[in-house]
Amino acid sequence: MADLLADVEELVRCESPSADLAAVARSADVVARVGERRLGVAPERLVLDGRTHLRWRLGTGPSRVLLLGHHDTVWPLGTLATHPCTVTGGVLRGPGCFDMKAGLVLAMHAAAGRDGVTLLVTGDEELGSPSSRELVEDEARAADAVLVLEASAPGGALKTERKGVSLYEVAVTGLAAHAGLEPERGVNATVELAHQVLAVAALADPSWGTTVTPTVLTAGTATNTVPAAGAFAVDVRARNAAEQARVDAAMRALAPAVPGARIRVTGGPNRAPLERTASADLFALAASLAERLGQPSLTGVAVGGGSDGNLTAGVGTPTLDGLGAIGGGAHADDEHVLVDALPGRGALVAALLDALLAGATNDRPTSGARRP
């Protein structure tokens, strides 16, 4: 326990906001040092578009299981001054401790001494994995199973289903005119945006859990001018690929409501859904192992947030997410990890690795259709 806790504290005390390339590089140095200490080998350092990712290939045989995590966080430099890394009353706090530096340490300790495991630690997951996406997908295609060490759901539940994420921008072009003298000569982009915001919001389908949320909106240049341009962003979350495709088709079919206005829709699906079928076999195995280890019964939940587990499930590799630390407060001021739960979680991940490497699921879990 002491080594596990010390490693987590070492990672947390190196701040790693995603947008700061130098900070992410410094964090990669710390992650590499801790990983080399636990795994006995230095990682490959992969710098893509200036962002630093790390990869360990363990053993001499072919890799069969991918352990996946990220070392970047949402917290800006200087957060440690107001949210220091502390351990009090069995609770560890600090920026990024729950999401997901404790999970990285659990992965390192669980993988130590095992043959046939790849540990991939990316540095841009919180940004949507712009540079590491292809790397993550390629590693997943080569694996029989992916275990994602993202933080658990409440109560230690595993994340057996994640909604797919689509991101769009709807841009409107109108025509400027004086708002007081001759507004009728203009084409009001703000009015067009109002029509489109309502049309987009109506694409949501609560019965399927599909959310379509207009978010940031901008329009116009002056209070006395008919706006000539504007745009708004759209966040879409869908539980299955069919719903994600339905919304995508509808977004691309948007048509102007104000005569003379023009619309341009950019963006699209960012992460495919991690559907329950992709995690079912692995969750059943994890639940069986937890029982064998004398741990509380595992539960699996669906969550709206995306992770790199969406990417690995999207290429057809069976994926189980949420195997990291138990605690709460991801991206929030009360981010924390329950220290006493760390050893049990590490034991579960180690048992999963052993079972998968021994072929406990008949060489490949049956759920999830492999894609080229």
Measured at the CA of 161, the angle between CA 211 and CA 355, to 5 degrees, comes to 170
Q: What is the mean pLDDT of residues 64-73?
A: 98
Q: What is the mean pLDDT of residues 297-315?
A: 94
Share of the chain above pLDDT 70, in %: 97
User: In the structure, what pLDDT confidence band is assigned to residue 1 with cuts at 50, 70 and 90?
Assistant: confident
pLDDT of the residue at 328: 96
Distance CA 23, CA 43 (A): 18
Give which of 361, 323, 350, 324 is closest to 113, Cα–Cα: 350
Q: Is 222 exposed, middle or buried (0-12, 13-18, 19+ CB in 10 A)?
A: exposed
> Which of 14-23, 123-132, 354-363 has the weakest average pLDDT?
354-363
pLDDT at 332 over 80: yes
pLDDT at 362 over 90: no
**For the segment 89-132, what is each residue's pLDDT rounded down to a tens digit?**
999 999 999 999 999 999 999 999 999 999 999 999 999 999 99
**For the segment 217-251, what is each residue's pLDDT rounded down to a tens digit?**
999 999 999 999 999 999 999 999 999 999 999 99
Q: In which residue are the tokens 């095992």 written?
A: 114
The residue type of 129 is S
Peptide bond into 100 cis (omega under 30): yes
pLDDT of the residue at 366: 42
158-186 burial by CB neighbour count: b if 16+ within 10 A, else e?
Answer: bbbbbbbbbbbebbbbbbbbebeeeeeeb
**For the segment 70-89, what is each residue's pLDDT rounded down to a tens digit?**
999 999 999 999 999 999 99
pLDDT of the residue at 342: 98
Neighbouring residues of 23: CB distance < 8 A, sequence distance ≥ 6: 15, 16, 17, 77
Q: In which residue are the tokens 């072919």 written?
A: 62
**For the segment 161-189, what is each residue's pLDDT rounded down to a tens digit?**
999 999 999 999 999 999 999 999 999 99
Q: In which residue are the tokens 């609770």 written?
A: 91
Q: Are strands 336-338 and 319-320 parallel, antiparallel or unpaired?
A: unpaired
Distance CA 204, CA 78 (A): 39
pLDDT of the residue at 305: 86
- What are the chain's domains? 2-162+273-357 (3.40.630.10), 164-271 (3.30.70.360)
Neighbouring residues of 172: CB distance < 8 A, sequence distance ≥ 6: 189, 192, 193, 196, 219, 229, 230, 231, 256, 261, 262, 263, 264
The residue type of 306 is G
Which CA distances in Å does 177 have to 192, 257, 263, 370? Answer: 15, 19, 19, 55
1 or 117: which carries more pLDDT confidence?
Answer: 117
Q: What is the mean pLDDT of residues 45-60?
A: 96
Distance CA 362, CA 208 (A): 33
The residue type of 248 is D
pLDDT of the residue at 360: 54
**For the segment 252-305, what is each residue's pLDDT rounded down to a tens digit?**
999 999 999 999 999 999 999 999 999 999 999 999 999 999 999 999 999 988
278 or 367: which carries more pLDDT confidence?
Answer: 278
Give which of 149, 141, 121, 24 is closest to 74, Cα–Cα: 24
Residues 30 and 10: beta-carbon distance below 8 Å: yes
Mean pLDDT of the chain: 95
**For the segment 199-222, what is each residue's pLDDT rounded down to a tens digit?**
999 999 999 999 999 999 999 999
Give which of 268, 270, 367 is closest to 310, Cα–Cα: 270
pLDDT of the residue at 127: 93
CB atoms within 10 A of CB 191: 19
The whole-model pTM stands at: 0.87
Distance CA 246, CA 264 (A): 18
Q: Where are the alpha helices (DSSP H) in the chain?
A: 2-12, 21-39, 79-82, 102-111, 133-141, 189-201, 241-252, 276-292, 308-314, 342-357
pLDDT of the residue at 372: 40
In this structure, what token pair is assigned to residue 332?
């929030």
Dump the DSSP string for 172-201.
Answer: EE-B--BTTT-GGGSB-HHHHHHHHHHHHH
Element (H, E) at 266: strand 262-271
pLDDT of the residue at 61: 82
Measured at the CA of 43, the angle between CA 40 and CA 44, to 5 degrees, comes to 150
